[in-house]
Structure 1
């Protein structure tokens, strides 16, 4: 059992880098601290990588510490340098709209009441009134150019070129830490390991400008078993906004977690005690085919992000599509999202089953489709179909237009009849 929040973070594998973990532990032991984590509005929604930061902030708050959640109204106008190349700058109006959307998203993951109640801040409040001369005199003078050039992301961009705007991003984020130290007494900044240069830039700025010692803590990059970045699916990023990614698709992204990584994700993304995760993984190792760990992970995260009702709908859909529940019980929105996630396409009313199997990707040719039907491996709305010339009509559609197709036990898709 881990009682200290630092011990808990370590047990969950959530500390990749820290400036001085012993000093941070000592400061925490002296009493509640104020800390912050920031999010730039470079998209209309946060994604799964941001979720890890929000949950880390929540863990610290549950331990009695006070979070500041920064939404980067100014840093979002510039964008943190990427190794791939220069960012496309969004308009001020777009960024302002995204600030409000993200402000609403982050507000669901922390509490705002009590002595450790969270505060959402916007760095546009202190950057917008500042003149260029003041910025250079008060902030720029503390940053040696040779150290800025040595940052990995900058060094990788020098040959292809990097704008002064992106080159200077570290100054803006470091100034955020300085301002929050002065205004709110923030002594810890958390973020992803890819932000380590920016995090330590803020620590160094406060040391130079105020003569004070503060802390930075970075979580690891969340990866798949092959080392690639976790959070991307075939259809794109795992977004938190249900308008960009349906709750069903979100649920499925966790159901598909690899066996070798699911225990890690359970510790890092859920609030289940570490001991409970270890017990769950012991059961999973005995019966990996049951995917009990993945189902628990998907349920915990979908409930956290989208609520219990959406989780139950996603679980119901997962079972019903594979013949373990009633398709008629699914709301149209859930069924539509599930079939779109499975690759459903539009077909004309009266399309034959053979053509529907081909259109949906469940068969590569007419002969393969006929063979599947003849072998008893083709299903329409979970009912075995034995007529290759069957035409999809009114008696087959669910909610007026959807037909669930399945080949064998595991291959599911569907069509929308128009």
Structure 2
């Protein structure tokens, strides 16, 4: 059988679980398929976790399939309990609507909605005016409470308490899939792997109500090699909105990923051919920094465009190369061995004379006045270790204008 987009997604490491792997692969190889991914607008910008889903849609659209972007204007009124230890803060309709508009604008940069090539819908259109009794009789009857309680998304909440409000979330997401199947012949739902329970509930509902095949597939969440979620910094989430995370800080985030995460990020977040991904991620020592620069440039280019990516790259190079070479940036040389176990930021600020004492250093950090490699340091226990250095150098910034370079002797 010829290679199709399923093989591309598999080779690049996206696919985590699928309801019917062989059937999905066959379906994607023989016809144009309508599929959907849901986005609950809980903030006024997408973050890098959402970006993985946008990349999947781009791969699918390039292969001729039709994406439906489902904005969760209705489901956000209830809140997804998945991965949450406490109930989400209730949001107003106006806030949710505003956030949905922001998502719509951002996703339009990645997906082509012209001539029906993709569809964007909001589940508020059918969820907000449902007749409760009719809904229970048509949809609720197909859900087993016993089975729902074994789902991962609910299990974690059983001890602290799960509200009846959130208990409805899975049923509503299942109903979304049914509604999209009826309106657009949508037979495939995608999502992050934390959505597995919700996705299989929807596919199962279509099979029961419509006696029709429906499928679900989940993708790897964006995590580090240690299994921690990526996209968080000392300053908070890495947003796609340039006003919330500047293109320069966005670029620096990817420029500073750990060596072990380069291959995963290049595979999931860029469209570079896989042989190039393998070549770049096999570079060693200082050479791996070239791969990180390419990663940072490619992802910034996709999210913010070529002009901003060029500017971010030039700013990073100017700061680290010309400034240091021209001798205009004060530099402290320190033995590499001192960073093997990590040196805490307070000690480092005193050693580089950026602070006269540890109490002054503590004040600088807590007031948000210190950045390391373009990332604001908010925690006084933050430690700099040998992995933090690029080509044996690291840049510390105090306030808006004071730069100090530390180099390994």
Following superposition, the deviation at residue 175 of structure 1 comes to: 0.7
Give the match for residue 241 of structure 2: 241
Give the match for residue 90 of structure 1: 91
Distance 2:60 2:305 in 1: 22
Distance 2:278 2:123 in 1: 41
Give the match for residue 365 of structure 1: 356
Following superposition, the deviation at residue 168 of structure 1 comes to: 0.9
Give the match for residue 342 of structure 2: none
Give the match for residue 225 of structure 2: 225
Distance 1:65 1:366 in 2: 61
Is the partner of 2:99 in helix, strand or coil?
helix
Question: Which ranges of structure 1 fall in alignment gaps of 5 or more residues?
Answer: 327-356, 370-407
The one of 294, 302, 305 aligned to 2:303? 305
CA contact (8 A) 1:263 1:293 kept: no
Give the match for residue 412 of structure 1: 396
Give the match for residue 387 of structure 2: none
1:41 matched to 2:44? The reply is no
Give the match for residue 107 of structure 2: 106
Distance 2:37 2:153 in 1: 21
Distance 1:315 1:155, change over 3 A: same
Give the match for residue 398 of structure 1: none
Give the match for residue 333 of structure 2: none
Q: After TM superposition, what 4+ stretches of structure 1 lie above 6 angstroms from structure 2?
A: none
Is the partner of 1:218 in helix, strand or coil?
strand
Following superposition, the deviation at residue 152 of structure 1 comes to: 1.7
Distance 1:90 1:101 in 2: 16
Give the match for residue 257 of structure 1: 257
Give the match for residue 292 of structure 1: 290
Distance 2:246 2:145 in 1: 45
The one of 309, 313, 316 aligned to 1:315? 313
Distance 1:153 1:114 in 2: 37
Q: Deviations over 1:215-274 (max 9, x none)?
A: 111001221122211111111111111111111111111011111111111011111111
Distance 1:176 1:120 in 2: 13
Distance 1:55 1:11 in 2: 14
CA contact (8 A) 1:255 1:298 kept: yes
Give the match for residue 352 of structure 1: none
Greater C-alpha radius of gyration: 1
Distance 1:320 1:30 in 2: 50
CA contact (8 A) 1:362 1:413 kept: no
Following superposition, the deviation at residue 309 of structure 1 comes to: 1.1
Distance 1:260 1:416, change over 3 A: closer
Following superposition, the deviation at residue 45 of structure 1 comes to: 0.9
Question: Which ranges of structure 2 fall in alignment gaps of 5 or more residues?
Answer: 325-347, 361-391, 402-409
- Mean Cα displacement is larger for which, 262-271 or 222-231? 222-231
CA contact (8 A) 1:259 1:288 kept: no
Q: Deviations over 1:338-385 (max 9, x none)?
A: xxxxxxxxxxxxxxxxxxx969x9634269x9xxxxxxxxxxxxxxxx
Distance 1:148 1:235, change over 3 A: same
Distance 1:415 1:258 in 2: 26
Give the match for residue 153 of structure 1: 153
> TM-score scaled to structure 2, two decimals?
0.80
RMSD over aligned CA atoms reads: 2.4
Following superposition, the deviation at residue 409 of structure 1 comes to: 4.4
Following superposition, the deviation at residue 75 of structure 1 comes to: 0.7
Give the match for residue 329 of structure 2: none
Is the partner of 2:88 in helix, strand or coil?
coil
Distance 2:24 2:60 in 1: 12
Distance 2:353 2:316 in 1: 18
Distance 2:286 2:126 in 1: 52
Is the partner of 1:38 in helix, strand or coil?
strand
1:339-358 to structure 2, matched below 5 A, reads none
Give the match for residue 207 of structure 1: 207
CA contact (8 A) 1:61 1:67 kept: yes
CA contact (8 A) 2:281 2:288 kept: no
- Mean Cα displacement is larger for which, 271-280 or 172-181? 271-280
Distance 2:357 2:123 in 1: 60
Distance 1:152 1:42 in 2: 21
Following superposition, the deviation at residue 140 of structure 1 comes to: 1.0
Give the match for residue 401 of structure 1: none
Distance 2:3 2:61 in 1: 14
Distance 2:353 2:315 in 1: 19
CA contact (8 A) 2:193 2:221 kept: yes
Distance 2:353 2:103 in 1: 39
CA contact (8 A) 2:79 2:88 kept: yes
